[in-house]
Structure 1
Amino acid sequence: MSSLAVKDHPGRLDKRPSRTRSPRHWPGWLTGWAFVLPAVALFAVMGVYTIGSGLALSFAKWNGFTPTWTWVGVQNYLDLLYADPVLAPELRRAGGHTLQVMIAVPLLTVAISLPLAVALNSIRRLRAILRSIYFLPYVTTGIAVYFAWRYVLEPDGAINTLLRSLGLGTLAQPQGFLGNPDTALPTLILILVWSAVPVATLLYLSGLQAIDPNLFEAAQIDGAAPRHVLRRVIWPLLRPITAAIVLLGVRDALHGFQIFLVMTRGGPGGHTDVLGLMAYRLAFFKGLAQTLGVSSALGWMLFAGAVLLALLNARMLRRVR
């Protein structure tokens, strides 16, 4: 039938097959994988391969330059724990310092940030400005802050100068707060707390704003003092947030080493050496001694410790809910 006949009889349908067909649609899951596949491939190459090679390296000796590894099995782990007369004492000393940081930083962070969040929550005017001021230490670049603290804590730095001007020269440190073995680690702990308080305060503040104000009013009507409200009402409701803050502090203490590297490099005399810094030093400063495998073994030990702490924290969260 001609095209003219079709036009003259609009009721008739042209039964001839169409020359142009609509493209066949892919299944939805195939389209999703097409978008996700590049990221998965990148993670497989940069993540899974790196993790696997790092695990394999923890069972070998390698200085980073030779084409082959020397397989030693679990000897790297044994050297770190007790077999090596040099590495084992160094690990115990760094582990003791890390344990001090893991305990002190979360406890001090909670002790400072919770009352600070309660005070900020009770302020009606200038709350946004004060919140921004307290949050500044977190958004400031860490390396720049660490160098600024080094300048402040030097023998002729601002803190010693201020103490002498106030007549408190006996508290000043002639060798600087980072050069004295008795004050170096406590000073770094205080700086870590100073940098961790902003996030903890913000988390506590968000938790306080989610609490029903009627609970506070009921406690005040019953004659509860502010400290009793904090202890009996606020603290039990904010236990999950406290557990998260403690976990963050423990994680930073277990894996973080930037502040120790920039400010003291483990000194003076190894009094600020921590496990993360020890692993970094074994990997990049003793390569010719074939300690890359030992560094990888220490890294996996830290990873296992972090996993155990995460599981413990998850169990604690289930209990407090």
Structure 2
Amino acid sequence: MSSLAVRDHPGRLMDEPSGGRSPRRWPGWLTGWAFVLPAIALFAVMGVYTIGSGLALSFAKWNGFTPTWNWVGIQNYLDLLYADPVLAPELRRAGWNTLQVMILAPLLTVAISLPLAVALNSIRRLRAVLRSVYFLPYVTTGVAIYFAWRYVLEPDGAINTLLRSLGLGTLAQPQGFLGNPDTALPTLILILVWSSVPVATLLYLSGLQAVDPNLFEAAQIDGAAPRHVLRRIIWPLLRPITAAIVLLGVRDTLHGFQIFLVMTRGGPGGHTDVLALMAYRLSFFKGLAQTLGLASALGWLLFAAAVLLTLANARMLRRVR
């Protein structure tokens, strides 16, 4: 039997089988769901289930081994905030250390990276080489860098040796810069700033290159000093980038603990303990004491703080625009 030719699209013919019936096709929406469904299933397993179980665990006591949880309601949150005579003071101390890092590290990063970006943007020779040099601390593996810093900051490390050789032995730290309670946290803050400056500088450089050069030329013609150009022109134009850099620093402080774990483990005497490190310690070093629920509760407190800071930063961005 002969088949009939019908038009499916303008200029395109397709053969229609005998009987006048066209071949069956999958609906378009079903094809789309077939591609999206594996990703949704993976997210549901790795994301939604993990988040839900973590939230449920924050209302229970569990050591990670027993088949059942001991439900305690909001007691974990109360213990962390004020009820437990051991955990509450530890949380307040870690919170104070976190607050210091969260304020000082972003401020120092901005104070260093903005003038550095302005200087790099004005250089004509070896600009690419200098940018690569300043960006090296960011691309280097964090753990390796932290171990290198530990070696440099030891009692017989390079910094103490250099200070003694220059006749500045009174500034040297016999127990090391990380072993002295007065210098441990400031030292870690400086290392955090050192590792954050490359990205901040790169962001400022991208912002400076987007600014119309005629603004700078007009200011120079009017006799404006470089500090006035920086204060009156560059700084207002780069405020959104500054807000983003501060938010990145706050995020790293709230959720990052790698440097504190590798270099000091919260010591000496808890002077470098931070909230994220405390949650890690409750999760993996006190499991037999049924502290996984406390760690989960602390994680959700950090999440709530991060959300509030993000909303505040979004509001600040709307104002500066």
Q: Using structure 1 for the length normalisation, give the TM-score.
A: 0.94
- Superposed displacement of residue 33, structure 1: 2.1
SS in structure 2 of the partner of residue 89 of structure 1: helix
Quote how far apart the aligned CAs of 1:169 are.
Answer: 1.0
Deviating more after overlay: 21-30 vs 283-292: 21-30
* Partner Cα separation in structure 2 for residue 241 and residue 280 of structure 1: 31
Unaligned stretches of 5+ residues in structure 1? none
How is 1:59-78 mapped onto 2 (pairs within 5 angstroms)?
59-78=59-78
Worse overlay, 55-64 or 30-39: 30-39
Q: Note the C-alpha offset of 1:40.
A: 1.1
Change (3 A) 1:177 1:11: closer
2:114·2:204 contact (CA, 8 Å) conserved in 1? yes
Rounded Cα–Cα distance in structure 2 between residues aligned with 1:273 and 1:69: 29
SS of corresponding position for 1:217: helix
Question: Contact 2:3–2:15 (CA<8 Å) still a contact in 1?
Answer: no
Return 164-173 or 227-236, whichever deviates more: 164-173
- Where does structure 1 differ by over 6 angstroms across 4 or more consecutive aligned residues? 1-16, 19-22
Say which SS state the counterpart of residue 104 (structure 2) adopts.
helix
Distance 1:230 1:10 in 2: 62
Give secondary structure in 2 for the equivalent of 1:30.
helix
What is the CA-CA distance between 1:131 and the residue it aligns to? Answer: 0.6
1:292 corresponds to which residue? 292
Q: CA deviation at 1:30?
A: 2.7
Q: How far did 1:71 drift?
A: 0.5
Q: Residue 25 of structure 1: CA displacement?
A: 4.0
Q: Report the CA distance shift for 1:67/1:221 in structure 2 as closer, same or farther (over 3 A).
A: same
How far residue 5 of structure 1 moved from its aligned partner, in angstroms, is 18
d(CA) in 2 for partners of 1:32 and 1:213?
48
CA distance in 1 between partners of 2:263 and 2:276 (Å): 14
For residues 181-221 of structure 1, what are the alpha-carbon distances to aligned partners after superposition, in whole Å with 9 as ceiling and x for unaligned?
Answer: 00000000000000000000000000000000011111111
Q: Secondary structure at the match of 2:16?
A: coil
Q: After superposition, where does 1:51-200 map in structure 2 within 5 Å?
A: 51-200=51-200
Q: CA deviation at 1:241?
A: 0.2
SS in 2 for 1:5: strand
- Distance change >3 Å, CA 27–CA 15, structure 1 → 2: closer
Bigger Rg, structure 1 or 2: 1
Alignment RMSD (CA, Å): 4.0
Alpha-carbon distance in 2 for matches of 1:243, 1:8? 55
- Structure 1 residues 215, 288: closer, same or farther in 2, change over 3 A? same
Q: Distance in 1 between matches of 2:9 and 2:65?
A: 85
- List per-residue Cα deviations over 1:67-117 (Å, max 9, x = no partner): 111111000000000000000000000000000000000000000000000
Match of 1:35 in 2: 35
Relative to 1, partners in 2 of residues 1:131 and 1:28: Cα closer, same or farther, differing over 3 Å? farther
Could you tell me how far 1:19 is from its partner in structure 2?
9.6
- Aligned-residue offset at 1:20: 12
Q: Distance in 2 between matches of 1:294 and 1:12?
A: 67
Q: How many positions carry a matched residue from both structures? A: 321
Counterparts of 2:171 and 2:8, CA distance in 1: 107
* TM-score calculated relative to the size of structure 2: 0.94
TM superposition shift of 1:122:
0.2
Sequence identity, in percent?
A: 91
